[in-house]
Amino acid sequence: MKDMLWALWRYRFFVGTSIRNDLRSRFTRSSLGALWMILQPLAQVAIYALVLSRVLATKLPGIDSQYAYVIYLTSGILSWALFAEILSRCLTIFVDNGNLMKKVVFPRMCLPLIVGGSALVNNLLLMAATVGVFLIIGHNPGWSVLWLLLLVPLTLAFSLGLGLVLGTLNVFVRDVGQIMNVVIQLWFWLTPIVYMPSIVPDRFKIFISLNPMYTLVLAYQNVLLFGKSPDLLQLGHVAVLSMILLLLAFVLFRRSSAEMVDVL
């Protein structure tokens, strides 16, 4: 572990340059460039808000605002966008970079750092735009927004841990990536983002409570919509799960790294 951390530190400029190149490559020949990082998720929020706000806006207790549902929805999307981008990219991280891994000598664990760094930049830009929209419509989350300094790294850790476990398995069993593309879509609808958990029948609420992304999404919503602190006990459970996943990912990668290059 110590050797790997030292190697990652020595290649920190490689990671930084790769993140910058990754962001640039996404918007080559695009007139709006990096604005697409913000416009795409906000457009998704606008669509859901237009379709569902009439139905669900009246079911937000304790919020006296015509934009309550929009704020609720945007807060959840902010958390989900970071998770979904990292998870979907980590699923094919080693497959997509197979040629690079064969031709260039560098610590392979630089790859998830590049993915995580790129996704984090995207999410921070979206976060800045989201807070700006909130202020425009007259909603000030106050000092509770500082809880994002905890929530963002926790979401990042959980996403990378799960993504790297599945990404390593996907090298040897390509069905993992195909299955997870469907699971991610289903997972989105099983997480109360576009609807409130209060509308879920009681017999199904136990399944929602076991969903780690529900804990994170709820924390974002509490911080950004209700202006209150998240449930630290529940976040602690997610933190422990994230550490377990990261450790499992590290063990799987170390044991399979030699075979991985041959398979790719």
pLDDT of residue 220: 95
Summarize pLDDT for 8-39 with one digit per residue, the tens: 667 677 677 877 777 677 666 655 555 666 66
For residue 253, what pLDDT band results from cuts at 50, 70 and 90? confident
Summarize pLDDT for 208-239 with one digit per residue, the tens: 888 999 999 999 999 998 888 999 999 999 99
Residue-wise over 228-243: b if at least 16 C-beta within 10 A, else e?
eebeeebbeebbebbe
pLDDT of residue 118: 87
Length of the chain: 264
Q: What percent of the chain has pLDDT over 70?
A: 76
Which is more confidently placed, 206 or 161? 161
Number of other CB atoms surrounding residue 114 within 10 Å: 21
Residue showing tokens 């041959």: 262
pLDDT of residue 55: 56
Which is more confidently placed, 15 or 56? 15
Q: What is the pTM of this model?
A: 0.85
pLDDT of residue 174: 84
